[in-house]
Structure 1
Amino acid sequence: MRVGFIGTGSMGSILIEAFIQSGALNPEHIVATNRTISKVERLAATYSGLKVARSNIDVVRDCDILFLCVKPVEFKAVIDDIKDEAAPEQIIVSITSPVLIRQLEDLLGSKIAKIIPSITNFVFSGATLCVYSDRMADEDIERLENLLSHISAPIRISEENTRISSDLSSCGPAFLAFFIQKFIDASVEETGISREEATQLASEMTLGTGKLLTTGGFSPESLQKSVAVPGGITAEGLHMMEKELCGLFNNLIHTTHAKYEEDLEKVEARFFGTKVE
């Protein structure tokens, strides 16, 4: 099986490196291209055997599964470039959330999937969100999910829930890191603890908490109850946070959804010259 990548920016590179380092793919099973070829050449220098393609068409002609790892504004140009070469038996995978399955089906005759990866996949963790077109047979889905399972937990979602699922899975690491950063900043400012020590403590806490919530049998609610003794310090802190953070996460979701709707309209206009209804 040969797997192709068009786009080796941040997420494209993360996927390539995670697949190789997890053992899901050998470098010689990968062919990739990018608008800036030197980026692919650097990957090939690191992973001997990875094939550098000089054009999008060269990738399409040489792969069974093709990952499209490009920005929404670049998507239509890439599709126009490859649509005459894409074969019905090929699986074409978009990782761009505002590009819809129906838009890809309108322009390509191939089997279509959309996945939303996460930076956590780089350490073979976290989820990969999966949406499939009706052209994908059960064996096609199994083939793709077997590949993704080396670096993540593939989770099937409905396309209408793409944004909120991405908020939790893909944007979530940045949001959580921001919270941790501010916790560290305040710890240093208020107490004089060194930034290095505070960062180590907060990072180890985050890792342990993740394990408790995934394999430890805890829910967010039960974990809070287990730590917060009534009338204790943790309970007092949680009470303050409940008041201070009221509405914050609702506003966060409103913000990400508004930007997503804006992106949907831009993609629809670029693909078909119309706005999303």
Structure 2
Amino acid sequence: MSKKLGFIGCGNMGKAMIHGVLASGKAQASDILASAKTESSREKNAAELGIRLTADNKSVAEFADILFLAVKPQYYEEVIAEIKDTVSDDEIIVSIAPGKSLSWFDEMFGRSLKVIRTMPNTPAMVGEGMMGVCANERVSQEELDTVLDLCSGFSKAEMIDEKLMDVVTAVSGSSPAYVFMFIEAMADAAVAGGMPRSQAYTFAAQAVLGSAKMVLETGKHPGELKDMVCSPAGTTIQAVRVLEEKGMRSSVFEAMMKCLDISRKM
């Protein structure tokens, strides 16, 4: 029998997760119930996803075998206070919030439940997400495998120690924003050189996509791959020199460390 999936929250990330499990055949629309605050959001998501939506978080918690808390972190306490007496001991809670530890959920629910922490990222919206995962001792290996299989519909996932979850927030959770800025900057330069903007975005974005794929599929060190592009006395090595002089490495490092610091304080 297939598991019933509940999603409290159906914003960008919740919608991406639902779309992924449906598109991959990991679940059927009839197996999913989601909640959304506004009527317009419920109508829009019902039409786009073909699932049932409600304004009642408690009904989602009561329906689900696996309950995804897909709201923003600042709403977690409010949502948990609303559903904590409805969630059963056999239900699996899946969090996507940074900074909310496994022990924090015990405190908020007032008892120890089956909780899995995840940190997805927005590329899940196009089926190319990256997700860190950890779970408490109440979650069995079979239950964990079930959730990982569901998530594989929209994201790659790796099990990590909980102490590294804040690092995941910095290295993959927030980093798409840095990459988008990099693509935008490259496109701006291409436009300055005379290329139409829409074409500039295509060239810049595809270059980033292809470069990332080379890192993942060749197994080569990023520095080695960089050297493959940098011909002696060529154009690329001169561009790399400018990036080094302008502090690209240190800026990225400092940005990620700032993100990590904030995440640890949440």
Give the alignment's TM-score, normalised by structure 1: 0.88
1:30 matches 2:32: yes
Is contact 1:3–1:66 with CA below 8 Å preserved after alignment?
A: yes
Give the alignment's TM-score, normalised by structure 2: 0.92
1:217-245 deviations in Å (ceiling 9; x for gaps): 33311210111123322112112211212
Aligned match of 2:14 in 12, 15, 19? 12
Q: Would you say how many aligned residue pairs link Structure 1 and Structure 2?
A: 261
Distance change (3 Å), C-alpha of 1:153 and 1:138: same
Aligned-residue RMSD, C-alpha: 1.7
1:158-178 deviations in Å (ceiling 9; x for gaps): 222222212221212221110
Residue in 2 that maps onto 1:182:
185
Residue in 2 that maps onto 1:217:
219
Give secondary structure in 2 for the equivalent of 1:161.
helix
Is contact 1:22–1:124 with CA below 8 Å preserved after alignment?
A: no
Residue in 2 that maps onto 1:242:
244
Is contact 2:119–2:168 with CA below 8 Å preserved after alignment?
A: no
Residue in 1 that maps onto 2:44:
42
Is contact 2:12–2:125 with CA below 8 Å preserved after alignment?
A: no
In structure 2, the gaps of 5 or more residues are: none
Counterpart of 2:45 in structure 1: which amino acid? L
Report the Cα offset of residue 151 of structure 1. 1.8
Residue in 2 that maps onto 1:274:
none
What's the % identity of the aligned pairs? 27
1:194-231 deviations in Å (ceiling 9; x for gaps): 21222221122122112211123333112101111233
Residue in 2 that maps onto 1:273:
none
Report the Cα offset of residue 3 of structure 1. 0.3
Counterpart of 1:241 in structure 2: which amino acid? L
Counterpart of 2:173 in structure 1: which amino acid? S
Is contact 1:121–1:151 with CA below 8 Å preserved after alignment?
A: yes
Q: Distance in 2 between matches of 1:186 and 1:238?
A: 15
Is contact 1:33–1:56 with CA below 8 Å preserved after alignment?
A: yes
1:252-271 counterparts in 2 under 5 A? 252-262=255-265, 264=266
Residue in 1 that maps onto 2:23:
21
Distance change (3 Å), C-alpha of 1:122 and 1:195: same
Distance change (3 Å), C-alpha of 1:55 and 1:102: same
Residue in 2 that maps onto 1:229:
231
